[in-house]
Structure 1
């Protein structure tokens, strides 16, 4: 079963929507699915549906709601891709993390699921790292997060396990940035980095031209094993 729910902000002065996919029976845990710059589009909703099929309560909050609620863009359509970049430029990531924290609270307090993880893609991959450093999320996964090298000063605050999936030919994350990520995180006791040789940004998208089937299945199998171990 799927539904759209309303989640109050931490301040309680407004609310935002979230797509929710329910598993059959009681969820074994909850996973917040953090959007790309294209909004809670069909690909992100499919991610939620897949996690629900694995037994998780999956929740994808609309993080762009302050810009325009309900954004759904297709990265394979160039004008929509450019529009997504514009929205990204308007998005306040610090406030976005507070909305993710509000989602964590809502899941635990209102939906009754104590263990909560998150998985994010692109912008969401960066936000997953920030969520690990700034909240009490139980486990975090980031796919092709952009600009994580600039967040390494927060790594000391990461208290729960993190996995980062890094395509080595990411057009948005150059080789020097990847090297900085490895130098800063390879010895972190809570963080694991996986490299995907020859792959570009967006390789694990559910739909569209960017997907690489073999690499997506490998990364997703690692994510599934990670959540099974850390959200049980």
Structure 2
């Protein structure tokens, strides 16, 4: 378990672990890194470390703590991939967003960083969208978010900038779902969608078989520019 912080739930009755990566000197802002279905694993921690190297306070909360605290799974190991799908079925995304909101409070109140963004992957991409619709987060980015097409009725509540990265050959988000996302969000003044032709789910992972170097670098460049503009 790689957690080095504890965050209180909104109710104050429980707490959950988080991995925190700190920059040298005063953070330019903070970014919450929202896990895939594989927990706060090495890849997610590397995302945090890269953000810290760029000057951000990066925090990855353990969102599966109600099921099993501290899980770390490898998507390239079939048994662990199936375990992750099982966790996904047991997970409650509404509670996840409340824990992300608690993380926003932790950053602003305990860490003293006012500007907070989030970036999420897979399940975390969906949660980044939900965080944009349900909290006062300053900026949000979602990579290959699942089931966003089923939550477009919340889009009117997006008050701060949101960017979504959509691989066109996503095995978990059908072409029909992608079309609905574009139909529902293309005209939203706060939302930017980027398509990645021919790429699949997980293309921007830090390690493993799913990564596409060119696509990951392009998406990450856009994300970096987005946060530089919206968390200043």
Fold shared per TM-score above 0.5: yes
Tell me the alpha carbon deviations over residues 2-26 of structure 1, each in whole angstroms, 9 at most, x when there is no partner.
9610000000001000000000110
Q: Which residue of 2 aligns with 1:43?
A: 43
Q: 1:39, CA displacement in angstroms?
A: 0.1
CA distance in 1 between counterparts of 2:202 and 2:55 reads 25
SS in structure 2 of the partner of residue 58 of structure 1: strand
- The 5 A counterparts of 1:1-232 are 4-232=4-232
Q: Does the 8 Å CA contact 2:116/2:137 hold for their aligned counterparts?
A: yes
CA distance in 1 between counterparts of 2:196 and 2:70 reads 32
Tell me the alpha carbon deviations over residues 87-129 of structure 1, each in whole angstroms, 9 at most, x when there is no partner.
0111111011000000000000000000000000000000000
Q: Does the 8 Å CA contact 1:34/1:128 hold for their aligned counterparts?
A: yes
Tell me the alpha carbon deviations over residues 196-225 of structure 1, each in whole angstroms, 9 at most, x when there is no partner.
000000000001000000000000000000
CA distance in 1 between counterparts of 2:7 and 2:65 reads 12
Q: Does the 8 Å CA contact 1:33/1:48 hold for their aligned counterparts?
A: yes
Query: Tell me, which stretches of 5 or more residues in structure 2 are unaligned?
Result: none
Distance change in 2, residues 1:3/1:15 (3 Å): closer
CA distance in 2 between counterparts of 1:38 and 1:6 reads 20
Q: Does the 8 Å CA contact 2:3/2:17 hold for their aligned counterparts?
A: no
CA distance in 2 between counterparts of 1:117 and 1:11 reads 22
Structure 1 residue runs of 4+, over 3 Å off? none
CA distance in 2 between counterparts of 1:35 and 1:202 reads 12
Q: Does the 8 Å CA contact 1:204/1:215 hold for their aligned counterparts?
A: yes
CA distance in 2 between counterparts of 1:5 and 1:30 reads 15
- Across the aligned residues of Structure 1 and Structure 2, the Cα RMSD in angstroms comes to 0.8
Query: In the comparison of the two structures, how many residue pairs are matched?
Result: 231
Q: TM-score, normalised by structure 1?
A: 0.99
Q: Does the 8 Å CA contact 1:123/1:145 hold for their aligned counterparts?
A: yes
